[in-house]
Every structure is written in structure tokens, then in C-alpha cells.
Amino acid sequence: MKKILPDWHYARPELAKKYLALFALGLVSARCLFARRRMGKTEFLEKDFIPAAKNEGYATVYVNLWKLEVDPATAIITQLYKTIAPKRFEKIKVKVSGKLPGIAEGSIETELHSHKTVSGLALMQVMDVFDKTKLTLMFVIDEAQVLAYAENSSFAHALRAELDSRKDRIKVIFAGSSETTLRRMFGIPSEPFYNWAPMEPFVLLGNEFVAAMVQRVNKICKFPMSLDDALAAFSALKYTPEFFRRYIEYYLNNPERGSAGILQEAKQSVLHDDRFKKQWQSLLVADQFVLKMIAGGVRDLHGKSAVQQLGKALGVEDSANKNMAQNALRRLTEKNIITRIEHGIYQFEDEAFEDWVKHQD
């Protein structure tokens, strides 16, 4: 099957200008954008916002913490060095073992006992290098909710301290897929980034995106795609750009099958997504059953009926108690799989994963 070419990107220059204009006013130095996964947020940041920031004279740093969530400190420090001092980058090797060679000129090696201490020192070092430049930096941290994990608290405190003293020259876009975790990150006094960046929902792609994709399809395909069919497909695929592009890809390869058949194929590809299967298999049985209840529309997950259902599913009906459900809900919330709407009522962070769970026996 042919791959969709990179130029299928739907450019959003006006939205990029809007976000940059907010920084130009000088009232804030950071913003936080949130949206569910696969909604086009990362593509916008990389292909629209960052190029626009460069055109405005910013040096830019982009880091996606989802790719290195076990070690966000190394990810951030590495990307900072690549932009601020690329010639030094090859010398910098932050090791979990506690060795930090090449931070200063020459062959200095600092032996430390804690990787957290190493990370804090390395961050100070790269910021000292930045201070000696004349750069104005646009720092984009994607999947920023990783910084709110308890194990990253020390580095998050260090990062805020370094950014605090450089607000005039470093502007920050935090972006993430877990609204719940981000609200905790910026809204709870005990968190390192408390009250540090205003939050707003990322502007999602809509009908204008679908119309542009249809227009492009019809320029290269002998079987014109109907805008009404495409809009219906976009809706059926939960308004998710990544899945809609699969629909387009399948259509271009077999347009004679028609929209209905192509849409069914796209839905099946989502339901058989290996990422969902791996995520599911990593969960405890109790957590899996709680997800099934949420996907099945069960409300009041702290209630007697839900607790009894969970106990029966686990074969411990006689000893079922509220703690079993509460512990499962806590684990799932901490993993950003679900979010609490109100007491006892939860919803999936990822609607596509919810659909996948609904189809599991």
C-alpha cells in the first residue's frame, strides 16, 4: 500500500500567527495547549508553529517527551544543546550511571551519585551557555504532562527555576494530551509549574480541513470523492485527522470500492491497531474490567453495583469492596487513560481507544 506523501499536511499559518502574537504582547512567557492524541497538535507545532517562530527571529527547540518519558531530562537537555551550542552537542553525554563527561571545555568528568543531580547540573550548564548568546528562544515541550509524574518532580523544579529567570528571552509552549494531568500540573500549589502557564484547548481541525483534503484527492484521482461522504467519514472516525488520513489513503488505493467500503476498512484498521493491543495487555485484569465498564456506559463506578460487577469478574464476589474499584481508577488516571468528570464518573482520554475496548470480548 502506498504511503501518503508528506505534502498532505494541512497548513494553518493564521493559527501559528495567533499564538505568536500572544507572546509578542509581552503579557505572558508561556502557554499550555491541550488536545487528545492524534488530533494534529504535534504536526501543527512541527510544521506550522515552529517555522513561523523561526521567521519571527526565534531560535527554536522542540522536544516530544512521549518518546522519552522515562528520561525527559536527557531529552530536554539534549535538544537545548542542539540549538544553543550545536558544536558542543557531540561532547555532551548524560548517563544514568552518574557520569557527565564533556560538560565543560576539555575532558572534565564529574562523578555524581544521582542521575537527578546530574540532570539538574546539566540543565544549569546549558542555560549558562544560553546566557552567553544573543538568542531569543521558543521552547516547545510536547506531551508536557510527563513532567508532572512524581519521578520527574526534581527536574521539573529545576527547569522552572531556570526558565523563571529568563522569561524575557525564553518563551515556552507546553502541549499535551492529558487535560487532567496538565490541570494538576499548572493548577495545584504543590506542583513545580503551579500557575505558570494559562491553559487553553488546541484549535482542532474541522470541515475546512476535510474540504481541503477532498480537493486534493480529486486533483489526482479519477474517481472523485464526495465532500458529503468525506465529512461523514470524518465524523465516524471521531474527527481524528490521523484516522481520516488512513481513509484517504485507502480511497486512493481502491477508489472503485466507494466510500462506505473504504470507511469500513479504515474503522477496522483502527480496531486492529497494535498500539491499543499493547496498551491493553500492559494493564491489570481489574483495570481492564473497569475500562470495559466505562466503555459500556456504567456510571457511578464507586457504587455498590459497579463494585459487585468488578468482584464477580475477578472471582472475588464475596470479598469485593470499594477499594478495588478506587485503586483501579487511580492507576488508570495516573496512566492518563481515563479522566474524572465528577465523583464516580469517568471518561476515556482517547475516544479511539474507547472504541477499541468496546469491541473486545
Q: Are residues 195 and 218 in the same domain?
A: no
Which pLDDT score, from 0 to 100, does residue 39 have?
93
Q: Which residue has the higher pLDDT, 349 or 288?
A: 288
Name the residue among 266, 206, 209 with its Cα closest to residue 236.
Answer: 266
Lowest-confidence segment of 115-119, 289-293, 296-300, 345-349 by average pLDDT? 115-119
In a domain, 86, yes or no: yes
Q: Are residues 98 and 189 in the same domain?
A: yes
Q: Are residues 67 and 87 in the same domain?
A: yes
Q: Is 256 helix (H, G, I), strand (E, B) or coil?
A: helix
Which cell numbers in the block locate residue 77? 537537555
State the Cα–Cα distance between residues 146 and 248, nearest whole angstrom: 33
Asked if residue 21 has pLDDT above 60, the reply is: yes
Domain boundary among the residues 201, 231, 256 is at 201
Domain boundary among the residues 244, 271, 298 is at 271
pLDDT category, 70, cuts 50, 70, 90?
A: low
State the Cα–Cα distance between residues 321 and 115, nearest whole angstrom: 40
Domain limits at 122?
Answer: 6-201
Q: Are residues 76 and 222 in the same domain?
A: no
Which pLDDT score, from 0 to 100, does residue 53 have?
98
Q: Are residues 176 and 290 in the same domain?
A: no
Asked if residue 110 has pLDDT above 70, the reply is: no
Asked if residue 100 has pLDDT above 60, the reply is: no
In a domain, 1, yes or no: no
State the Cα–Cα distance between residues 174 and 61, nearest whole angstrom: 12
In a domain, 177, yes or no: yes
pLDDT category, 302, cuts 50, 70, 90?
A: confident
Which pLDDT score, from 0 to 100, does residue 104 have?
41
Domain total in the chain: 3
Lowest-confidence segment of 20-24, 99-103, 159-163, 354-358 by average pLDDT? 99-103
Q: How distant is the alpha carbon of residue 187 from its chain centre?
A: 19
Q: Which residue has the higher pLDDT, 2 or 79?
A: 79
Asked if residue 114 has pLDDT above 70, the reply is: no
State the Cα–Cα distance between residues 248 and 262, nearest whole angstrom: 9
Q: Are residues 214 and 329 in the same domain?
A: no
Q: Are residues 82 and 10 in the same domain?
A: yes
pLDDT category, 140, cuts 50, 70, 90?
A: very high
pTM above 0.85, yes or no: no
Tell me the average pLDDT of the chain.
Answer: 86
Q: For the chain, first and last CA: distance in Å?
A: 30
Q: Are residues 45 and 152 in the same domain?
A: yes
Q: Which residue has the higher pLDDT, 117 or 151?
A: 151
User: pLDDT digit string (tens) for 204-215?
Assistant: 999 999 999 999
- The domain spanning residue 283 has which CATH number? 1.10.10
Which cell numbers in the block locate residue 292? 470495559
In a domain, 155, yes or no: yes
Q: Which residue has the higher pLDDT, 241 or 347?
A: 241
Which pLDDT score, from 0 to 100, does residue 89 have?
67
In a domain, 97, yes or no: yes
Q: Are residues 176 and 311 in the same domain?
A: no
Region 272-288: what's the mean pLDDT? 88
Residue 201, H or E segment: strand 199-201
Which pLDDT score, from 0 to 100, does residue 245 have?
93
Asked if residue 117 has pLDDT above 90, the reply is: no
Share of the chain above pLDDT 90, in %: 53
Q: Are residues 25 and 135 in the same domain?
A: yes
User: pLDDT digit string (tens) for 321-339?
Assistant: 888 888 998 899 888 888 8
- The domain spanning residue 52 has which CATH number? 3.40.50.300
Q: Are residues 139 and 167 in the same domain?
A: yes
State the Cα–Cα distance between residues 36 and 30, nearest whole angstrom: 20
In a domain, 62, yes or no: yes
* Residue 246 near residue 269 (C-beta atoms within 8 A): yes
User: pLDDT digit string (tens) for 26-68?
Assistant: 888 999 999 988 899 999 999 999 999 999 999 999 999 987 7
* Residue 217 near residue 225 (C-beta atoms within 8 A): yes
* Residue 122 near residue 144 (C-beta atoms within 8 A): no
Which pLDDT score, from 0 to 100, does residue 171 have?
97
Q: Are residues 235 and 249 in the same domain?
A: yes
Which pLDDT score, from 0 to 100, does residue 44 have?
97
Domain boundary among the residues 201, 233, 259 is at 201
Region 218-240: what's the mean pLDDT? 93
